[in-house]
Amino acid sequence: MTEDELPVGVHEEHINEPVVEKLAKGEPLFDSIVGYADVKKLFQMSLSSDKPVHILLVGPPASAKTLFMLECMKLERSYFTLGSHSTKSGMIDYLFEKRPRYLLVDEIEHMPMKDQTALLSLMEAGIVSETKFQKTRNTQLKTWVFATSNGADRMLTPLLSRFVVLHFKQYSFGSFQEVCTHILGSEGVPSDVAAAIAEAVWTKLRSKDIRDCIKIGRLAKTKEDVDWITQTLKSYKQ
């Protein structure tokens, strides 16, 4: 995301229209995510497509990748799984039993290779197949796969090629401050205090993680508090 794409509080509502009927809770999709208007639009286009278009988000920590998966949980018949928690039989059983329309895999690079292999035929041909105790079961499924990865190097190349791959960049300071003030603003933190927090986290704590801003935002009432907290955290930093 570049700085000039922010603030992207710009009218994104219209993007949500095509999938409104698929939303389980009727909440607007992606409304908790600041910026990334183009990525949101691509997701909407994928959701409106007749045939599945799978999307993989790759990028540095704290760049909102997981947030995109969590937002997609608002979609009806979606199933969220962590790459590190999934086992082949667990995921396959789920696919057979629940027949999800949207499979959301966070940190797919931690998924064992055999699980990644199972995804290949699902994504390419919509077929799930399993042989157990010399019995084979097959099913046809129409499932969109949305996934995240901190690095694509541990993934199978054929799997990667089945995704539209979007590489998120590290936030610039401007974007970082914008995201921080937006999130803290929704928690009732005044914008000058939020801006000071973003600056202190970035320059003093040398962190690019919005989570650090959120922690300080919940502790600080004034800019003086921000100075004191960051100074204290810095002195206890490893």
Ligand X SMILES: Nc1ncnc2c1ncn2[C@@H]1O[C@H](COP(=O)(O)OP(=O)(O)O)[C@@H](O)[C@H]1O
Residues forming contacts to ligand X in the complex (CB under 6 A) are 32-35, 59, 61-67, 148, 179, 183, 210-211
| Residue 174: closest CA among 79, 34, 25 | 34
Exposure string for 78-112, b = 16+ CB within 10 A, e = fewer: bbbbebeebebeebbebbeeeebbbbbbbbbbbbe
Number of residues that bind Mg ion (CB under 5 A): 1
Residue entry with tokens 């999800």: 100
Nearer to ligand X, 120 or 205 (CB): 205
Residue number with CB closer to Mg ion (69 or 201): 69
When the beta carbons of 75 and 180 are compared against ligand X, the nearer one is 180
Closest CA to 149 of 60, 26, 23: 60
Task: Give 82's DSSP letter.
Answer: E
The site partner of 62 among Mg ion, ligand X, none (C-beta below 5 to 8 Å per kind) is: ligand X
Tokens 């939303």 appear where?
23
Is residue 32 part of the contact set for Mg ion (CB under 5 A)? Answer: no
Residue 70 binding Mg ion, by CB under 5 A: no
Residue 44 contact partner, candidates ligand X, Mg ion, none, CB within 5 to 8 A by sort of partner: none
Least gap, CB of 119 to Mg ion (angstroms) = 19
Burial of 226 (0-12, 13-18, 19+ CB in 10 A): buried
Q: Does 66 bind Mg ion (CB under 5 A)?
A: yes
C-beta of 119 vs 179, nearer to ligand X: 179
Contacting positions for Mg ion (CB under 5 A): 66
